[in-house]
Structure 1
Amino acid sequence: MAQEAFFEAIRQGDLETISSLGEKNPDLYRSRDGRGSTPLILAAYYNKEAVVDHLLKTGVPVDEKDGAGNSALMGCCFKGYEGIARKLIKAGADVNTINSLGSSCLIYAVTFNQTEVAKLLLNHGADIHIRDARGHSALDHAKMQGFNHFLPMLTPTP
């Protein structure tokens, strides 16, 4: 019951309820919802910056993954939430983590045409050579989608 209320408060960005429930039961900060999402993954996915800030202050692990192998950073990369991505990277998120399909944060940012997020990832060491389970790199995804503005930043230099 408390866990359902906790996760609903995260979806709604209700920091007061999150704090209150978390004080009463600190284990909620390390719990998972029915899909395997952690509080941080959910807050990042729903673009709840204040909740992300609060969760990071409580010391939640930044790189845990949901049932599909996606981290909080991966969620913001395909959604384009640059501010949250920046906070997660500053908190130590792995920019080169991959999910169960072999996709990386950079592959997601490029596939969903999130240019500023892709630049942020590249500036923090994202590996352009990672290939997903189908063998495609971020550059391949840019070409397939016709997102030519990515080509200069993703083409390896000799």
Structure 2
Amino acid sequence: MRIHRCRRWPRPLGRLLLLCLLAVVVPACSASAGTADVRLRDAATRGDADAVRVALEDGADLESRDGQGRTALLLATHGNNVDAARELIEAGADVNAKDAMQDSAYLYAGARGLDDILALTLAHGADLRSTNRYGGTALIPAAERGHVATVRTLLRAGVAVDHVNRLHWTALLEAILLGDGSPRHVQIVQLLLDAGANPELADGDGVTPLAHARRRGYTQMEALLRRAGARR
């Protein structure tokens, strides 16, 4: 009885066929993954949570970045797209991943008063000590821009109240220097002082919060600072 053996390709030819196959399959797989990454970022930008989910199911990389270093989560945060941001965060997106501008989803949400996304980042590992391109925590721009609820949230989370940025300003100084003296900024000054902000911690030129408030005619802030112990 004759036994027919399977025909084997000569080794050099077999290797050649394998290389050809890899040359076709590998780029196709890479292109597919790359397309999914683009779709993920586009869905995040549009705030389409369902499309975000589909892109992830198709193998999109949660931490893929665009030309400015922005992840899908940061793009969703820029648009205050809460549902898309939640989908990404619950899938494991890094809330502390920074772009070329040194913004992260956590820092941007804090600075812009995007409280729903901020709460999500705080619940998923936000680094309270991380800083922006000015060397400031999320608390400092939140105080400057008058985001009362955001300031309260960040203080409760434990962000350092007297952190000094590269401009030599604290959250208290920025609320006075860059605020408009409105009731919301007065309330922020009160919140900061209640949280233990040093009322006499001066700027890089040695000018104190009290002196800045006096120069600007912010009498309510001046009164709060004096009540907190400011003398100069």
- The two structures share one fold, judged by TM-score above 0.5: yes
State the 1:106 CA deviation: 0.6
Corresponding residue of 1:103: 169
CA shift in 2, pair 1:157/1:68, >3 Å: closer
The question of whether the paired residues in 1 share the 8 Å contact of 2:89 and 2:120 is answered with no
Q: CA deviation at 1:125?
A: 0.4
Asked if the contact 1:38–1:64 (Cα under 8 Å) also holds between the matched residues in 2, the reply is no
Deviations 1:66-117 (A, max 9, x none): 1111111111101111111111111111111110111011111122121000
Compute the displacement of 1:16 (Å): 2.2
Structure 1 gap ranges (5+): none
Shift of 1:157: 6.1
Task: Identify the match of residue 12 of structure 1 among 54, 71, 79.
Answer: 79
Measure, in 2, the Cα distance between the counterparts of 1:139 and 1:157: 7
The answer on whether the counterparts of 1:86 and 1:120 sit within 8 Å (CA) in structure 2 is: yes
The residue aligned with 1:59 is: 125
Displacement after TM superposition at 1:23 (Å): 4.2
Equivalent position SS for 1:60: coil
Deviation by residue 1:12-59 (Cα, 9 ceiling, x = unmatched)? 111222233334453x31211221122211001222110011000002
The aligned residue for residue 44 of structure 1 is 110
The answer to whether residue 162 in structure 2 is matched with residue 81 in structure 1 is no
Distance 1:58 1:25 in 2: 9
Contact 2:110 2:139 (8 Å CA) reproduced: yes
Pick one of 144, 152, 155 that aligns with 2:215: 144
Report if aligned partners of 2:199, 2:230 keep a CA contact under 8 Å in 1: no
Of all paired residues, the percent bearing the same amino acid is 21
Q: Which residue of 1 aligns with 2:197?
A: 126
Residue equivalent to 2:9: none
Cα distance in 1 between the residues matched to 2:114 and 2:173: 23
Conservation of the 8 A alpha-carbon contact between 1:41 and 1:75: no
Q: Verify the 8 A CA contact 1:10 1:51 in the aligned structure 2.
A: yes
User: What secondary structure, in the 3-state scheme, does the structure 2 residue paired with 1:128 have?
Assistant: coil
SS of the equivalent of 1:133 reads coil
Contact 2:73–2:88 (CA<8 Å) still a contact in 1? yes
Aligned residues: 157
Question: Is the CA contact (8 Å cut-off) linking 2:95 and 2:126 kept in structure 1?
Answer: yes
The alignment partner of 1:140 has SS state of helix
Structure whose alpha-carbon radius of gyration is higher? 2
- The letter for the 1-side match of 2:89 is G
Asked whether the equivalents of residues 43 and 49 of structure 1 are also in contact (C-alpha less than 8 Å), the reply is yes
Would the aligned equivalents of 1:15 and 1:50 in 2 still touch at CA under 8 Å? yes
Instruction: Give, as a single letter, the amino acid of the residue that structure 1 aligns with 2:142.
Output: C
Instruction: For 1:130 and 1:94, locate their aligned partners in 2 and report how far apart those are by CA, in whole Å.
Output: 14
Q: 2:187 aligns with which of 111, 116, 119?
A: 116
Q: Secondary structure at the match of 2:159?
A: coil
CA distance in structure 2 between the aligned counterparts of 1:139 and 1:148, rounded to whole angstroms: 10
